[in-house]
Amino acid sequence: MGDKVKVARGHRCQICEATGLHPHTFAKRDGSRYAEAHHVQPVSKLIAGSLGEQNIMVLCPNHHRQAHYGDFEVVEENAGDWNVSIDGVRLSIDRTVL
């Protein structure tokens, strides 16, 4: 499912987009863009829907690591978006619907 969400999002980091940064990461050898799929609710918690597209956020490698180990928190989950705090800045990140 992560690959489908990355394609739908154009392999663009949703946090970079929300903060006005260039959203594309590096190009792979084949010329396609690289991005990572972050499960907002960890799959290991076995929460219904955790493997679905609406639980996946497309991130660059740096923001993906920050989501796991840095100053990153999902403050509120809504049907259409997540409100997150990253480095003390609140952002609204759209959920993907395929």
Using a pLDDT cut of 90, give the percent of the chain over it. 84
Residue 32's CB: how many other CB atoms inside 10 A?
11
Nearest C-alpha neighbor of 37 from the set 72, 67, 77: 67
22-54 pLDDT, tens digit each:
998 899 999 999 999 999 988 877 778 778 899
The residue segments making up the domain with residue 78 are 2-94
What is the pLDDT of the chain when averaged over all its residues?
Answer: 93
Question: How many structural domains does the chain have?
Answer: 1
DSSP-derived 3-state class of residue 82? strand
Gyration radius of the chain's alpha carbons: 13
